[in-house]
Amino acid sequence: MSTHTALITGSTSGLGASFARQLAAQGYDLVLVARDGDRLQAQAESLTSQYGVRITVLVADLVTEDGVGAVQERLTDARHPVHLLVNNAGHGLPTDFVESELDAERDLLRLHVQTTMELTHTAARAMRRRRAGRIINVASVAGFTPTGTYSAAKAWVINFTKSVHQQLRGDGITVTALCPGLVRTEFHERSGIKVKGAKRWMWLDAEDVVREALTASAQGASMCVPSRSYQMLTASLKFVPDTMVRWAMERRVGVPTEGEAMAQLESGGGRRHGGDGTAEPTSEATRTVDAYKAAKAQDSRGRDAAAPRSSETGAAGPEAEGSETASSETSTSEVPTTPTSTVRAEESTTHGEPESSGSMRLNGRNPLKK
């Protein structure tokens, strides 16, 4: 019988399922938390038969007080302590902030921010009494970008995790933020989010992401950004203007109209991505920068060309003003607009320096999530 127990939220799919498999393979007893009781039971039976570990299932909706309370009660059970907490549950939104229903925005923040804070607080208190324990909060590379509510929530998770890690490291407790980029899971499909034009190197394997996260946590790192490419990407974002980040996101993220989003959600449809490989992020970044500069230059030329035509007509009357306005609107439309939504992508992580590693997720609509 195992002497260690791990509790995983959102365990039935994506990164959560990978965490469950790898921890069971390491001999951990598991407490699996999700909303779908049938899937939880099937997952528990499969892992028990394959690895012979003891598994408890907890059906809970972590957007509700009752659901969070049930998990907190398990975390405070002194007779069966939880040694590793994985705050993995999460979802994205297929529409941008203004188009989303306010209740949907509240639920997203409730799950990613408040629930993560409450479970971390409960687990940390119990672990501090034992002076040992580990917590992994799944964030995203999206947390390094100003692209919407999802990215804002993940930015909070990253900073919150690093802060708590500093407070508890002297008590034998490690708190790690996992920041993956795009991960091959059902996250985007289930959230109704489309990702277009993503390069092969941008897609990470869930098993690899979880393996790096567990290694980083065991080594005492406060952050894990899986894959060297995402580590370079997140580091470079410190020097890139926000307007350029949003422009690049629009080129990478499929921003569905409200009708398309609803149709996709109702049908359960989505786009699957496969393939593997590694690209050269430096050359790709260079092409993105060049394309951005070209678009800005084109806009500037359009505005310059409009000015002489206005002056030639003499004093600006109604017709001249209308002509100038039309010219300005035309040139502006040629410049890519900011992404209306951020695609959330399941997160992948690569651990590097304990305090500086981080993987990147893009939000607004975030293509990089968990």
Of 82-86, 276-280, 337-341, which gets the smallest average pLDDT?
276-280
Which whole number is the average pLDDT over 321-344? 37
3-state SS, residue 8 = strand
166 with 295, same domain: the answer is no
* DSSP secondary structure, 164-191, as one string: HHHHHGGGTEEEEEE---EESSSHHHHH
358 with 324, same domain: the answer is no
Q: How many CB atoms lie within 10 A of CB 34?
A: 24
Reported as half-sphere exposure (CB side, CA atoms, 13 A), residue 214 has a value of: 21
Terminal Cα-to-Cα distance of the chain (whole angstroms): 32
Phi, psi values for residue 171, rounded to 5°: -100, 10
Question: What's the angle, vertex CA 144, arms to CA 208 and CA 205, rounded to 5?
Answer: 15
195 with 78, same domain: the answer is yes
> Which residues constitute the domain of residue 313?
281-333
Above pLDDT 70, what percent of the chain?
58
Q: What is the pLDDT of residue 217?
A: 97
Q: Rg of the chain's alpha carbons, rounded to an integer?
A: 23
User: What does the pLDDT look like over 195-223, one tens digit per residue?
Assistant: 555 556 566 889 999 999 999 999 999 99
319 with 358, same domain: the answer is no
Asked whether residue 238 carries a pLDDT value surpassing 80, the answer given is: no
Question: What's the angle, vertex CA 30, arms to CA 25 and CA 33, rounded to 5?
Answer: 125
Q: Which of 28, 150, 230, 292 is catalytic?
A: 150
Q: What is the pLDDT of residue 7?
A: 98
Q: What is the pLDDT of residue 228?
A: 82
Q: What is the pLDDT of residue 253?
A: 46
Query: Residue 366 gets which letter from DSSP?
Result: E
Which whole number is the average pLDDT over 90-94? 84
User: What does the pLDDT look like over 174-183, one tens digit per residue?
Assistant: 999 999 987 7
173 with 298, same domain: the answer is no
142 with 109, same domain: the answer is yes
> Does any domain span residue 261?
no
Q: How confident is the model at residue 351 (pLDDT cuts 50, 70, 90)?
A: very low
> Does any domain span residue 253?
no
CATH code at position 25? 3.40.50.720
> Does any domain span residue 214?
yes
Which whole number is the average pLDDT over 332-352? 37
Q: What is the pLDDT of residue 301?
A: 65
| Number of structural domains in the chain | 2
pTM: 0.65
Mean pLDDT, rounded, of the chain: 74
User: What does the pLDDT look like over 248-304, one tens digit per residue?
Assistant: 555 544 444 444 444 443 444 333 333 333 333 344 444 544 555 566 566 666 666
> Does any domain span residue 271?
no
150 assigned to active site:
yes
The Cα–Cα gap between 340 and 307 comes to: 31
Burial class (CB in 10 A: 0-12, 13-18, 19+), 101: exposed
User: What does the pLDDT look like over 120-140, one tens digit per residue?
Assistant: 999 999 999 999 999 999 999
The dihedral region occupied by 41, where left means phi > 0, alpha psi between -120 and 50, and beta the remainder, is alpha
170 with 295, same domain: the answer is no
The Cα–Cα gap between 6 and 104 comes to: 30
Asked whether residue 356 carries a pLDDT value surpassing 70, the answer given is: no
329 with 345, same domain: the answer is no
The Cα–Cα gap between 106 and 87 comes to: 18
In this predicted model, which residue has the larger pLDDT, 236 or 291? 236
User: What does the pLDDT look like over 47-75, one tens digit per residue?
Assistant: 999 999 999 999 999 999 999 999 999 99
The Cα–Cα gap between 77 and 29 comes to: 15
> Does any domain span residue 232?
yes
Asked whether residue 4 carries a pLDDT value surpassing 90, the answer given is: yes
222 with 327, same domain: the answer is no
Asked whether residue 240 carries a pLDDT value surpassing 50, the answer given is: yes
326 with 215, same domain: the answer is no
321 with 345, same domain: the answer is no
